[in-house]
């Protein structure tokens, strides 16, 4: 699995831990920056990861900023990207199961590296339920999200 990873300055250190864990899990990591703790603008890196996922260069993406919220907001502007800020395991699991989230956003000022890796594992290992019996409600809802994207992308 190919995972695009990006952070701002607040998430730079955690990005290193996440990239290392991904490599240990057998994933290929596309590091989209930043490359230091020098202050930078999170939208610049969130868009790189979101575009890599949308274009099929990466199977999924991981974003890291102070809270995870800002990066997720930017990524969700890219049609076809479904990003969620998940700073605990329940959200990571159920946004995959029900929402087919393809970009995980983490808050480096909220969670420790060990917890981030646990959340990351759930994000990678949890399948989307839309492919299972009874999962049609999730597919229907994703179709509605796509309709909203189309309506406002004009």
Q: In what order do the strands lie in the sheet with 60-65?
A: 28-31, 2-7, 60-65, 103-107, 83-85
- Marked catalytic residue, from 27, 65, 86, 138: 65
Task: Compute how many other C-beta atoms are within 10 angstroms of the C-beta atom of residue 149.
Answer: 15
98 catalytic, yes or no?
yes
Question: Residue 141 has which token pair?
Answer: 């809802």
Question: What is the C-alpha to C-alpha distance for residues 55 and 45, in angstroms, rounded to an integer?
Answer: 16
Are 106 and 63 spatial neighbours (Cβ–Cβ below 8 Å)?
yes
DSSP code string of 12-73: HHHHHHHHHHHHHTT-EEEE----SSS---HHHHHHHHHHHHHTTS-SEEEEEESSSHHHHH
Residues involved in catalysis: 65, 98
């Amino acid at each position: 699995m190919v995972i695009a990873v990006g952070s701002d300055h607040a998430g730079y250190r955690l990005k290193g831990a996440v990239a290392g864990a991904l490599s240990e899990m057998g994933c290929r990591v596309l590091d989209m920056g930043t490359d230091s703790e020098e202050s930078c603008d999170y939208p610049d890196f969130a868009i790189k990861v979101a575009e890599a996922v949308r274009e099929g260069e990466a199977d999924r993406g991981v974003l890291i900023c102070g809270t995870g919220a800002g990066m997720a907001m930017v990524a969700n502007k890219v049609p076809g990207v479904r990003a969620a800020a998940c700073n605990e395991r329940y959200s990571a699991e159920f946004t995959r199961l029900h929402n087919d989230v393809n970009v995980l956003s983490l808050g480096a000022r909220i969670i420790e590296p060990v917890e981030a890796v646990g959340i990351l594992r759930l994000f990678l290992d949890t399948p989307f339920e839309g492919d299972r019996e009874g999962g049609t409600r999730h597919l229907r809802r994703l179709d509605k999200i796509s309709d909203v994207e189309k309506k406002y992308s004009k």
